[in-house]
Structure 1
Amino acid sequence: MTSKTSVSALRHTLLALAMAGASAMAGAATSYHAVIDTTGLAGGGWLDIQFNPGSLPAVGATATLTHFSGAFGSDFELIGGSGNLASGFTLNNAQQFNDLFHALNLGGKISFDVSFDGAFASTPGPVGTTFSVGLLAADQSSYLGRPGCNAALGDNCSLFQIELTPPGGLTLTLPSGSIASVTAAVPEPGSYALLLAGLGLVGVAARRSPKSD
C-alpha cells in the first residue's frame, strides 16, 4: 500500500515535470521569427540590426540571432557582440551602440530568428532596450522597405522594432507598409508534451491517492 509520504513525493515530482513544460513554453514566448520580403527590390543591400539601451547603465539583456536564410553576402560589421552567420550572432546592451551590419543581395526573401535573454527578464529597472531592424541600399544610407518613410527628415525607417522593458516586457512594433513579417516562435512539440504529461500524471496521482481517515 502506498504511503501518504510517497504519494506526496510523487505529486511533487510530477508537478515539477509539469512546471518544466510550462517554463519551456514561457521561454519560447521570448523568441521571434522574422521574414523580410525583398522580391520587389534589386541589387545589393545591407541588413542593419541594432540592440541599443535607452541609457547606461541598463538592465542586462542579450539578443541571439540564429537560423539565417537568404542571399547574404560575406561582408559584415559587428559592434557589441560576437558570432557569425553560420553559428549565429549575439548582441548585448552593455554599451550605448550595438549593431550587426550585414551585406545581402536583394530580390528574394531573407529570414532569421531572434531570442532575448538576460537579467531584464526578471530584474526591474527604469531603462529599456530597443531591438530594431532596418534595410539599407548599397549606398549604406538609403533606407528601403518602408514606402514614404524619409530618414533624412528624421523618420524612424526601421522595418520593425521590439522594445525590451524590464522585468520581462516585450513589445513588437510592425509599421504599416513594412516588407517584414514577424511572428512569435511556437513552443517546441516536446514542451507541450512535457506539460500535458505532467498535468495528466498529477491528476492520476490525485485520484489514486489514499483518502485520509
Structure 2
Amino acid sequence: MSAAEILEGAARDILLLCDHASNAVPADIDLGIDPALLDKHIAIDIGAAAVTRALAARLGCPAILATVSRLVIDLHREPDHVGLIPHRSDGHLIPGNETVDKAARIARFHAPYHRVLRESIRAQRPRLILSIHSFTPCLEHGGTDRPWQVGVLYNRDVRAARPTVAFLEGRGFVTGDNEPYSGRLLNATLNRHAEGQGIPSAAIEIRNDLIREDAGVEEWAGVLADLAGHLRP
C-alpha cells in the first residue's frame, strides 16, 4: 500500500492535502475493533476526500490524499505525539494498538507520507496550501454540540487563515476561528510543510453532516473554489 495518493494538476500554485482521507486498514493489521467503527469519524474524516477530489478537479490543481486510516496511524500528528497510534478514540478502545511496534508503523506509513509531501513541495513550490478536514457535529462521549458549519485552523502564520475566516463569514457560514479545536495545538502537517517552509496555508474543517452526500460535497467544493480564487496572490 502506498502511503499517499497523488492527484496531478496543471495549476501548481495551489496544493491540496487530505490527511484523513481513508479508512483503509491493511490486511496484516488487526485493530481488534468492530468493523463498523471504520465508518465513524474516529477512523476517517467523513466527506473530506470527496471534497478534496472535487475541489482539485475544479481548480485543476494537485492534491495529496492519505491512504490509511488514522486508527492505524494519525498522519496529522508529530511522530512523538501521544495520539499518533491511538489506544482509545472518542471512548472506543483500539486494543490492537496496545502492543504495536511504533517505529515500524512510522517507517511504513508516516515517514513515506510526509516524504511525498516534502518532495512534492520541493519540486514545485506552491503559493498556497489548503488542508481539507471534517469534524463531527458532536463527539460521542462527553461532547457538546458544535454549532460551526466550518472551521479554519492555523498556528502562527495567519496570511491565508484570516482572509479565509472573513470570506466564509461573508458568505454567511457559521465559521469557527480556530474551532472546533485550535490549530495552535493540532496543526502538525501544515506546521511542517507549509508554515515551516514559509508557505501561506489554512486547514479547512467542514462539519461532516454537510458533506456526507454528493450534493453537499459539490456545494462545498464550489465554496472552496471561490475561496481559492479569493486567496490566490
- What is the TM-score with the length of structure 2 in the denominator? 0.25
Relative to total residues, which structure has the larger helix share, 1 or 2? 2
Q: Which has the higher contact order (CA 8 A, sep 6+)?
A: 1
Bigger Rg, which one: 1
- What is the TM-score with the length of structure 1 in the denominator? 0.27
Relative to total residues, which structure has the larger strand share, 1 or 2? 1
